[in-house]
Structure 1
C-alpha cells in the first residue's frame, strides 16, 4: 500500500478514485454491505484526511493553485522570501513567485551558539562552520557576514516571508531571525508546516512540488510582537550555558510559535543521555549499526532520515560532522573502512566500546576526547556536565 504515497505533496484524484474501486472488493469480502463510499473514506484516511470530501477539496485547492499562478503568487518584487537553505529557491520561481530570495544557512543546531555582540557571534559561527565542514576560513566568514548583514535588514524590509518547517534547524533559524528585532515589522509573515496531506513522511519544504508551495502561500500569517518576545526568550535560553530555561520552554506550549516547543525538545536530546552519554542522533546511529552490522555512512544517514529520526533536522554533511568525533577520537565508538572513498561510501562499524556504551555499561562522555557544544552548553572531555534524563529533563552530572 505504501507505494501509493508520494513525497512531493501532489495527489491525483482519478488515481485515488481508482484505488478506492480496487479496495472495494477486499472490503466486501470482509463485509458484504461495504460501499464505494466506505472504500473512498478508507483511502482518504490513509492519506491523512478525515473524509473523502476533504481529500477532494485539498486536491482541488492544489489544482487551482497550479492553474492560477497569478492568484497564488501574489507576492511583489519587493517581497523577500527567507529560508534556512536554498532548497526552495528554484521551486518558488517555477511557481511564479516574483520576490527575491534570501537564506540563513548557519546550522544553529550544531556547534557553539552564545549570545555575543554581532561581530563576536559571527566570528564564533564562521570558525565553527570552517572547522566542521572543511570550508576555507575566509570563505566561511564572507558567507556568514553576507547572510547576517541581510538578516539585520529584516526590521526595515517592506515585506518579508519566512518559510519554515517543524524541525530544530528551521525553528532555530526562525528564533534567531525574530530575536534580532525590537518589535514585529509591519509586514513580516510566516509560513510554517509540520505535515502535508498525502505525504507519508514529511521531511521538509524542499521536497515539495512548486504547486504545493503555491498552495501553502495563502496560509501565511503575520508575525506579532508576542511571537518576537517569545523568540527572544527562546534565543536567550538556547544560548545559556545551562539548559534549564531551554527545557522549560521545550516542555511548554506556545501558541505564538506553535512548532517551537517540539523542536526545542528534540534539540534538547542532542545533549548526552544520563545513562549512556550519547546524543539521540548518536544513539540512533549506533543502534542501527548494532542491528545491521557494518554499513556505509550514507546508508546510515538515509535510514535515520527515512525511518528512525523523530524530527529530521540534519543534512548529510551535518550528519557526517556530528558523527566524526565517534570515529576520530582517542577512544572511538565507530571504525570507518574504505576511507579512500568519499565519506558516504565509507563503511561504519561498532567498536567494542561503542557496543558497551550502547548497552549502558559505560558513559560516552567519560571516554570522549572532543569538546562538544549544543547551543550554549559546552561538554568538555572529563569534566562535569549537563545531561538529559529519561524524562528529557536536564540534570547535572558531576
Structure 2
C-alpha cells in the first residue's frame, strides 16, 4: 500500500549555536549592504541603517518562523528539555495505543521514549471510491481499488485492510488512544474515518494535530520530525469531545456521498472542534474536474511543471509539486505516480513517458500537444479521458454528465461539456 513521503529532509531540530553563527555572518552582510535575498525580504521591522547583532538575530528568528530571537531560544530550550526528559514529556503508558495513517513515526516514537503500542490505517482515502457501505463490501471495494492502482495482489491487500480495520474497531473500547494527524487531506480523512466508526467516545481518546512546526519553512508531515520533536508535541495533545465526534460522522457521510454539495458546505465553513478539517476537505474538492479544463488540481499542477520544463523525470515533478506548488501536500510518491497514469496510459495522452527501461521515478515525462491545449483551456480533458475517476463517493466518467469545481471551489453540475 502507499506510504507517507520519505524524501523529506528537515526534521524540525534547530541548532541554536549554528543560528548564532549565522546571525554574526548576517550582521557583516548587513553592514556591507548585502543581505541575502531571502532575509532582505523580511527586513521591514527594525531600521538597518546601523545594524546590530540583535537586528541580525531578529531576522534569523523571523526566517525560522518566530517573532523574536528570545522566542526562538525558548523553543529550542523546550525541545532540548523534551529530549533530556523523555519519561517526563513522553508520559504515555504501556496501555496507550498511538494511531497514525502510516508507519512513518513508529520507530521515532520508540526512540523518543514512548512506551505504548502503535497501530496504523494505511487506506489512502484521498484516492479511489469511498462509499458508505457495510464493512465487508467497503473493504472489498477499497481492496480492489488499491490492488489495481498500485499493482498489488488482491489477496495481500485484502488481508492487510482486514487486519487494519479490525484493529480500528478496537478504538472504541481502548483505555487510552492517541491519534497523530497533520492538516492535509490524507490525515484528516483518516481522522474522520476513525472517529465516524465509533458508536460512542471511549474512556480516553486524544488528538495531536499540527500544521506547522517552528523552524521548518515548509512543513510537510509529522514523519519528517526528529524523535525529540515528537516528544515536544506530546504535551500539546487534547481530548476528542462529542462535538468532534458528531462533526466527523457528518463529514464522513458527506465525503462518501455521490454529490459534493454537503461536502462543499463543510469545506467552506470553519469548525472549532476539528480546525484543520475544512481546509483539507476544500483541497480534496479541488480534485474534482475543473470546469475550464476537466483537470484535477493535482493533474493541473503537474502539467504546469512539465510544460515549463519541457521534459522532467517523474521524481523531480513530484519533488517540485510537494516542495513548492502543492497548497496542502497530501500525496506520497507512489500515490502521485498512480494519479498520473491515466494521463499517460490512454489513446489520447496528455503526457508521454519515455526511458521505459528505467524505474518509474527516473522516467522522463513530456507534455503532448493535447496536454498543452487542455492546460490552456482550449480542450476539455473529459472529452478524451478513458479512465473512471473517483473523489470520495463521486464518480467521474468520460463523456457523461458529472460534478465539477469552479474557481471559487464550489461544485457545479455539468450536463454537457458545453457547461464547462
Q: Does the pair score TM above 0.5? A: yes
Helix, strand or coil at the partner of 1:164: strand
Q: How far is 1:347 from its partner?
A: 1.1
- What does the per-residue CA deviation read over 1:326-366, in whole Å, with 9 as the maximum and x for residues that have no partner? 10112111111111221111111111111110010011011
Output aligned runs, 1:59-208, within 5 Å.
59-208=76-225
Q: Tell me which residue corresponds to 2:238.
A: 221
Cα distance in 1, alignment partners of residues 121 and 298 from structure 2: 23
1:26 matches 2:42: no
Tell me if 1:211 matches 2:238.
no
Q: Report if the CA contact (8 A) 1:7-1:201 is conserved.
A: no
Equivalent residue for 1:41?
Answer: 58
CA offsets per residue over residues 161-203 of structure 1, 9 Å max, x none?
0010111000000010001112322210111110110011111
Partner SS state of residue 395, structure 1: strand
For structure 2, the 5+ residue unaligned runs are 1-8, 34-47, 416-420
**Residue in 1 aligned with 2:71?**
54
- What's the CA shift for 1:32? 4.4
Distance in structure 1 (CA, Å) of the matches to 2:294 and 2:306? 17
Query: When the two structures are aligned, how many residues end up with a matched partner?
Result: 393
List runs of 5+ in structure 1 lacking aligned partners: 1-5
Structure 2 partner of 1:348: 365
Report the Cα distance in structure 1 between the residues aligned to 2:193 and 2:110, rounded to whole angstroms: 26
**What is the CA–CA distance in structure 2 between the aligned matches of 1:32 and 1:105, rounded to whole Å?**
54
Of 205-214 and 341-350, more deviation after overlay is shown by 341-350
User: Where does residue 13 of structure 2 map in the other structure?
Assistant: 10
Q: Find out whether 1:238 has 2:241 as its counterpart.
A: no
CA distance in structure 2 between the aligned counterparts of 1:382 and 1:76, rounded to whole angstroms: 55
Match of 2:413 in 1: 396
Matches of 1:7 and 1:325, distance apart in 2: 32
Of the structure 1 ranges 34-43 and 130-139, higher mean CA displacement relative to structure 2 is found in: 34-43
Using the TM superposition, name which of 185-194 and 15-24 deviates more: 15-24
Distance of aligned partners of 1:243 and 1:33 in 2 relative to their CA distance in 1, 3 Å threshold: same
The 1:35–1:176 alpha-carbon spacing in structure 2 relative to 1, beyond 3 Å, is same
SS at match of 2:50: coil
Identify which range, 331-340 or 190-199, moves more after superposition: 331-340
Question: 1:237-276 to 2 correspondence within 5 Å?
Answer: 237-276=254-293
Q: Structure 2 length as normaliser, TM-score?
A: 0.92
- 1:267-346 to structure 2, matched below 5 A, reads 267-346=284-363
SS in 1 for 2:233: helix
Residue 3 of structure 1 corresponds to: none
Q: Distance in 1 between matches of 2:82 and 2:327?
A: 31
Contact 1:9–1:212 at 8 Å: present in 2 too?
yes
CA distance in 1, matches of 2:122, 2:372: 35
| 2:288 match: secondary structure | coil
Q: Distance in 1 between matches of 2:301 and 2:242?
A: 38
C-alpha distance in structure 2 between counterparts of 1:243 and 1:156, whole Å = 33
TM-score (norm 1): 0.97
Q: What is the alpha-carbon root mean square deviation over aligned residues? A: 1.1
Q: Is the 8 A contact 1:7 1:200 kept in 2?
A: no
Match for residue 375 of structure 2? 358
